A and B are shown apart, each in its own frame.
Chain A
C-alpha cells in the first residue's frame, strides 16, 4: 500500500509554513533573558514530569547497553511521540538524549565498551579505575561531572538561543537556502571516513528528499515504485538509517558475549565523590568549556567534545603520565564535556535548523513532525512548547544525576541483556515505529531498504548523519531555492539574488571554510598516520 504523503499532516504544515518572506517589522524574540522561569511550572505538571522520569530512565538504560547509540534511541522513539502533545513529545526525546549520553559511561567503565560514541574518552581512565577496584568511584565522578557540565550547557542554551533567533529574523529565502547547504556541508564533514564521502552522503540525502511530489509545483518525481509515490518519510528514513545498522552491530556483539569482564562495585562515599569532583575544578572547567564550544559548532557532537576535553586536560595536567592509567580527571573532563555539549548542540538547531550533533539532527526530525520549524517562530508562536522543552533539559540533568547514580548499581544487570534479544527487539520496534507514523507498509519497506543499504555503505566509509540531514534539510533548501528564484526573476536575476549581499556572502564563505578546513584536518591526520606507520 503506497503511502499517501511523505510526512504527517503536522510536518506537512510546517513544511508549507516555513517558506516565508522576511518580515518588515519582525517582533523581537529575546526578552529579559528570564523567560524560561515563566514556563518552569509547565514541566512540573504531572504528565510532563512522568514523561521526564520515563525518558531519563529509558535513556540511561539504552545508553548503558553497548551497541545502542543515543541517536538510534531518539530515532526509534520519535514515532511514539505522535501520540503525545508537542511539549510532552519533545520532553521525552530531550530526556532520552541527555540521559543516554551519560548512561553510555556505565558500560564504558564496567565493560570497557563505550555505550555511545560520546563515551569513547571515558573508557580510557574510567575502565582503568574499574580494573583497580574503583568502579563505583568512577561512576560517581561520571554522573556528578555529567550533571555539572550538562547544567552549564543548558544555561548556554537558555541565554544564547533567543539572541541568535532574533538574528535569524533577518533571513530571507536566499539566506535560508545557504543555511541549509551550510548544515549539510558541516555535518557532511563529520563521521565519514573522508570529507568527500561525507559531502556525497549529504548530497545523496538532498537528492532522496526530492523523491515524490515537488512541494511547490506538485509534480511527481522519481517515483519508480508505488511505494515511493509519497516520497521518503523522514522518520522512516531516520529509523532505517540509524536502527537497522545497529541491529547488525548487535548481532556481531552477540558472538563475543562472555569475552568481556564485568566489574563489581565497591562501597564508596557519595559525599566524598561530590567534594572531590568540585576540587577538580580544572578538569571540570576545561571539560565543560570545551563541551559548550564543540556543542555550538554545528555538526561536531559528543565524541569530539569528550576526546578534545580529555586531550586538553591531559596536556594541562601536572601529572599527564597518570592519564590512561586511572586518573579521575580523565573521567571528569570527558563526561563533563560530552554532557555540556548536549544543550549548546541545540542552539544552532533551534535557531537556524543546523544541528550541533548527529543526535540533534534526529531531534530536528522530531521537531518537524510536531509542526515546529526551527527559527524565531519557536520563541514567539510556540514559546510555551519551546521553553517547556528547554526547561525539561535542565530538570533532566538533575534526574539523570539521581537516577544514574542509583541505576549504575544495577549496571551489571542492564548489560547482561543478551545482544541477540536486543537486536530482535530493535528490529520489531523499528517496524512498529515506522508503521505507526501513517499506517503505511510502504514506509516499513523503505525503512528496511535504507537500513540495509546504510549498513553496506558504512563498511565503505559512509555515515548516516549527513544523509539524514540531507533528507531533513532538502525540502527547506528546495523550497527556498524556488522561492528565491521567483524573487530573482522579478528583480536582479538569479546570480545577484543568491551570490551577493552580506549575509549570503558570509554563509557561502562559511560553507567553503567548513569544507576546506575539514580537508586540511583530514590531510594532516593522514600524514600523521602514515608517519606513525
Chain B
C-alpha cells in the first residue's frame, strides 16, 4: 500500500462521512429514510475499505499525470464557461483547436501543424453544424456568436 492509496481511502471515508451527515442532518421525514439507509451502508463499507488499507491489504493507487491533464482541464473549464456567452459552435471550435494543437504529436513545422489543426477544426465544426443544427435540429447554447 502506498501513501497515495492510503490518502485516497481516508479521503473517501471523509467524503462518505460527509454524505452520511447530510442524510441524517439535512432534513426530517420519510423523504430522507432511503438516503439514510444507503448512507449507513456506505459508511460501513468505507470503514471496511479504510480498515483494509490500514492493515496494508489494499491496492496501490495509480499516479495521475497532472502535467499531462492540467492543460486539458483548463481548456475544459474555459470551454464550459464560454459556452453560454460565446455560443456552442464558436467555443467548441476553440476548444477543439486548443486540444488538437496542444496534444498533437509534433514532428512537423509549427506553422504547418497550426494550419492542419485549423483545417481539421473547421471541417469538424461544419460537420457538427450540418448534423446537429440542420439535420437533427438540436438546440445549442447561443451567445454573442453561434
Contact = CB atoms under 8 A, between A and B. Distances in A.
A199 B39 CA distance: 12
A197 B9 CA distance: 10
Interface residues of A, number: 56
B46 A200 contact: yes
Contacts of A222: 22, 26, 35
A427 B100 contact: no
A203 B45 CA distance: 9
B23 to A, nearest CB: 8
Nearest to A221: B31
B59 A193 contact: yes
Contacts of B32: 221
Interface stretch (A4-12, A358-366, A402-410, A428-436): A428-436
A448 B76 contact: yes
A207 B141 contact: no
Interface stretch (A96-104, A145-153, A254-262, A383-391): A254-262
A378 B129 CA distance: 36
Interface in B21-45: 22-23, 26-27, 29-35, 37-39, 41-42, 45
Contact of A435 (B5, B58, B72, B140): B140
Chain A binding surface, main DSSP class: helix
Contacts of B139: 436, 439
User: Which of B23, B31, B61 has the most CB atoms of chain A within a 10 A radius of its CB?
Assistant: B31
B26 A432 contact: no
B111 to A, nearest CB: 18
Interface in A431-450: 431-432, 435-436, 439, 441, 444-445, 448
A482 interface: yes
A306 to B, nearest CB: 24
B72 A217 contact: no
Interface of A: 80, 83, 193-194, 196-197, 199-200, 203-204, 206-207, 210, 214, 216-217, 219, 221-222, 247-248, 251-252, 254-255, 257-258, 418-421, 423-425, 427-428, 431-432, 435-436, 439, 441, 444-445, 448, 452, 455-456, 459-461, 477-478, 481-482, 485
Given A251-B99, A432-B92, A452-B76, 13 more contacts: A203-B41, A221-B32, A254-B104, A420-B103, A420-B104, A421-B120, A421-B124, A427-B76, A428-B128, A459-B61, A460-B12, A481-B34, A482-B30
10 contacts: A200-B12, A200-B49, A203-B41, A221-B35, A248-B72, A255-B103, A435-B141, A436-B139, A482-B30, A482-B33
